[in-house]
Amino acid sequence: MLRIVLFALLGLAFTGCASTPQAKSQNAAAPATEAVAVEESAAAEAVVTKEAALSPGLNLDEIPFQAFNPEKPEGIHVYVISGSLKEGPFSAIVRFPPGMMSPLHSHSSSYSGVVMSENMVHSSSADDKETLPINSYWHQPAGEPHIDGCLSEEPCYLLVFMDGPVDMTPAEQPAAEPKAKITRGDAIPWQEVKAGVQMAVITGNPKEGPFQALFQFPAGMTTNVHTHEANFTGGLLAGTHHRGPAADALVTLKSRAVWNQPAGTPHMEKCGDEGPCLFAGAMDAALNTQSVEVTAGAAAETPAADETRAPEATSAD
């Protein structure tokens, strides 16, 4: 899935996201530059992916971002959480420089994007630059033109799940009937999964996998030590989230932290008492919660494990 995410985000920066006349004059050469950037990013990508796989998570100030295009260090930066930009699929967190706006373009692979900071732009038309609230998300079909940008005085962060390698094709016209669906962060269609845990599916089917979704844990909720049959890549959007192999080995994660949980790896999770934990994630197989025991925070009650089920898919596919 890495591929999907970075293609859209990184491609944006490569092709002249800057607003200066000089940057615009370089747009024609952007596709070739992108290809070089993907090659040069391969070594760093392998290193950071291994680091993420061995860690319960990395907070934003610990993430070793790399310039997607080494020749343009002022542009987009990326950290590959899992997968490969060059071969795909992959998952990544992307950092956009303030004021960056991409030209209209498309990718050969589909991808999902989740907004991790305010004032991100994603649109099917270059004439529509409405900013999206944090926690907004979309699934962008392959081959469909779109723009991305950061209309902020601070960097913008985007979590990306791409189903192939990164590439970008400039587009002259928007799609006549865009199929991309954007869900705003203030209108998330939550469904209950278990013991107050909620899910909003971005694409795919949790019962069959693979899938991508937003999850919300109630404040104070704690799980037992458990495993999943799927690899799980995640990014924290809000709240304080504690993850680790045991109760005495939890790592405290804050907003914009990321992690990669390999299939079969024992772990437990705890949401801080101050408020709900909201995160986005991608699983490459079905979600099975039968082995997950939940201890609710405060006075909430915990349903029995056999009362739970994964929601049906509500994707934009």
Q: Which domains, ranges and CATH numbers included, belong to the chain?
A: 2-181 (2.60.120.10), 191-307 (2.60.120.10)
pLDDT digit string (tens) for 159-206?
Answer: 999 999 999 999 999 999 999 989 999 999 999 998 899 999 999 999
Reported pTM: 0.81
pLDDT at 38: 45
Q: Residue range 255-270: average pLDDT?
A: 95
**Ramachandran angles phi, psi of 226, nearest 5°:** -150, 175
Q: What pLDDT, on a 0 to 100 scale, did the predictor assign at position 290? A: 87
Q: What is the pLDDT of residues 106-160, one digit of tens each?
A: 999 999 999 999 999 999 999 999 999 999 999 999 999 999 999 999 999 999 9
Span 57-90, pLDDT tens digits: 999 999 999 999 899 999 999 999 999 999 999 9
The two structure tokens encoding residue 269:
């999770």
d(CA 70, CA 110): 25
pLDDT cut 90: percent of the chain above it: 71
> Residue 150 has which token pair?
């950061």
25 vs 159: which has the higher pLDDT: 159
Rounded Cα gap, residues 137 and 24, in angstroms: 28
Alpha-carbon separation of residue 268 from 27, 199, 221, 230, 262 (angstroms) = 47, 18, 11, 15, 13
- Is the Cβ–Cβ distance between 192 and 300 less than 8 Å? no
- Cα(113)–Cα(93) distance, integer angstroms: 10
Amino acid in the structure at residue 137: Y
Q: For the chain, report the end-to-end CA distance as a whole number of angstroms.
A: 15
* Confidence class for position 298, pLDDT limits 50, 70, 90: low
pLDDT at 300 over 90: no
* CA-based max dimension of the chain: 62
List beta partners, residue 80.
92
Closest CA to 149 of 117, 181, 109, 186: 117
Flag whether pLDDT at 6 surpasses 90: no
Q: What is the token pair recorded at 71? A: 């020749």
- pLDDT of residue 23 exceeding 70, the answer is no
Give residue for tokens 């006075």.
299
